[in-house]
Amino acid sequence: MTISRRQLLCSSAAGAAVLTGIPQALAATYDILIKNGRVIDPSVGLDATRDVGIAGGKIVAIDANITGDATETIDARGKIVAPGLIDIHVHAGRSKEGPPLALQDGVTGWVDAGTGGADNIDAVADIARGAPQIGRALINISRTGLAGAPELIDFSRANVDLARGAIARNRDVVVGVKARLTNSVVGTNDLEALRRAQLAAAPFNLPVMIHIGQSYSPMRAILPLLKRGDIVTHMYAPAPNGILDDQGRLFPDVAAARRRGVIFDFGNGVNDHFNWDYVEKATRQGFWPDTLSTDWSVTSRTTGVVDFPNVMSKMLMFGMPLSQVIATATVNAARVFPAFDDRGTLNIGAPADVAIMELKEGTFEFVDNYKGTRTGRQRLFPVETILTGKRTPRRV
């Protein structure tokens, strides 16, 4: 299909001028033009070779051939151009080095999941506020957060009033409450920990994220305490008390929880959160993640996490279609937290957060949390990240 210059101006630049209120003469010039990439934007069902025009920090044009002037042009031939990645389970709030590193991996939005509790969430919130990209946090229901791990063995630390106070003074950053329900973290008090997390979240109408795996209570007792929009992370955590029964079948309660709007998140992590056998059994029954996440911290660069595109590649290995993998890391994640309302998309008018990645073919070894390895034929690699219309340093 050939597009005349006139049509092009109508469809892209002129449309942008209307949307952004930029005078038309200026709108014809793009700050950045990404040429010839394979644009995959599951939010609009797009997977095709396209050019992407960026101006004034926003996506202003997506077309087969954009010819307008651009301050900078990126040749993305052979690369994937996706919305900026949103990682809803990280520990990037642990130190100020974290967020810029994650940005190099394509992560333009993140949620620190429970690093801080009432006693130390202010420090996490400060790191989030100073991050280059959108950083948010879930407050740990234990007042000490992970600094006091195993943080709920002394159960008096699950203090609802203190958590509420900490949320109230960090409303701009705290977007939910986290509770780790593993036996070694909370002992036999897992259900009460979740009840307290819900009590802390309720006045603010926030979701709760639970970390499952090797809990005292079974899923059928835990899941009824979750409301629509709550998140189950480490969804493939092996027994005892995972999402599969002793014969490896998905518990009907788990499927029912998803149907009523509970989100199931991958949460790669390092120890005890998934093994290949469990992933295989669950995915063969069609139980795929709603969202992928890394459970990343600065130190897990050298472990099985490595980076978000590496974690995404693990689902490719199990046969999840590429567009679906990208959806779990973009539009699906954006829908979980209102902070990412206008993100996770390359729609015209959206803030220009873009992850440019390369899908390499070859032999790639991936690891689970039990030193199990599997070999995949494809691996996504981060190439370059654009954050609200600006190029950012590449990973070295």
**Binding site residues, Zn ion, CB under 5 A:** 113, 295
User: Which CB sits closer to Zn ion, 94 or 143?
Assistant: 94
Q: Which is nearer to Zn ion, 305 or 312 (CB)?
A: 305
Backbone φ and ψ for 169, nearest 5 degrees, come out as: -90, 0
Nearest-approach distance from CB 145 to Zn ion, in angstroms:
11
Please, which residues have CB within 8 angstroms of residue 389's CB and are 6 or more apart in sequence? 31, 32, 54, 55, 56, 57, 58, 351, 352
Name the residue whose CB lies closest to Zn ion. 295
Amino acid letter at 376? G
Distance of alpha carbon 9 from alpha carbon 137, whole angstroms = 42
Give the shortest CB-356-to-Zn ion separation in angstroms: 27
Question: How near is the Cβ of 169 to Zn ion at its closest, in Å?
Answer: 23
- Helical H runs in the chain? 5-8, 14-20, 24-27, 98-104, 121-130, 160-168, 183-186, 190-201, 219-222, 252-259, 276-284, 308-317, 322-328, 331-336
**87 vs 295 by CB, closer to Zn ion:** 295
Q: How far apart are CA 22 and CA 187, in angstroms?
A: 59
- In the bound state with Zn ion, the residue whose beta carbon lies nearer, of 190 and 295, is 295
Minimum CB separation from Zn ion for residue 317, in Å?
22
Q: What distance in Å separates the CA atoms of residue 386 and residue 377, rounded to the nearest whole number? A: 27
How many other β-carbons are positioned within 10 Å of the β-carbon of residue 19? 15
Beta strands at 208-211 and 231-233: parallel, antiparallel or unpaired: parallel
- Nearer to Zn ion by Cβ, of 113 and 185: the residue is 113
Strands lying side by side in the sheet with 107-113: 85-90, 107-113, 134-140, 174-180, 208-211, 231-233, 263-264
> Can you tell me the distance from the alpha carbon of 104 to that of 132, in angstroms, rounded to the nearest whole number?
11
CB closer to Zn ion out of 196 and 273: 273
Closest distance of CB 90 from Zn ion, Å? 8
Q: Select 93 or 309, whichever has its Cβ closest to Zn ion.
A: 93
Smallest distance from Zn ion to CB 112, Å: 9
Using the minimum distance from each CB to Zn ion, give the nearer residue, 112 or 353.
Answer: 112
Residues whose CB falls within 8 Å of the CB of residue 327, separated by 6 or more in sequence, listed in order:
42, 43
Q: Rounded to whole angstroms, how far apart are CA atoms 272 and 369?
A: 6
- Residue among 281, 284, 286, 280 nearest 245 (CA): 281
Comparing CB distances to Zn ion, the nearer of 189 and 297 is 297
Q: Which amino acid is at 227?
A: K
Rg (CA), the chain: 21
- The C-alpha angle 179, 185, 186, rounded to 5 degrees, equals 70
Q: By C-beta, is 113 or 257 nearer to Zn ion?
A: 113
Q: Provide CB contacts within 8 A for 237, sequence distance 6+.
A: 212, 213, 214, 272, 273, 274, 278
Name the minimum Å distance from CB 113 to Zn ion.
5
Shortest gap between Cβ of 214 and Zn ion (angstroms)?
Answer: 15
Name the minimum Å distance from CB 234 to Zn ion: 8
Shortest distance, CB of residue 357 to Zn ion, whole angstroms?
24
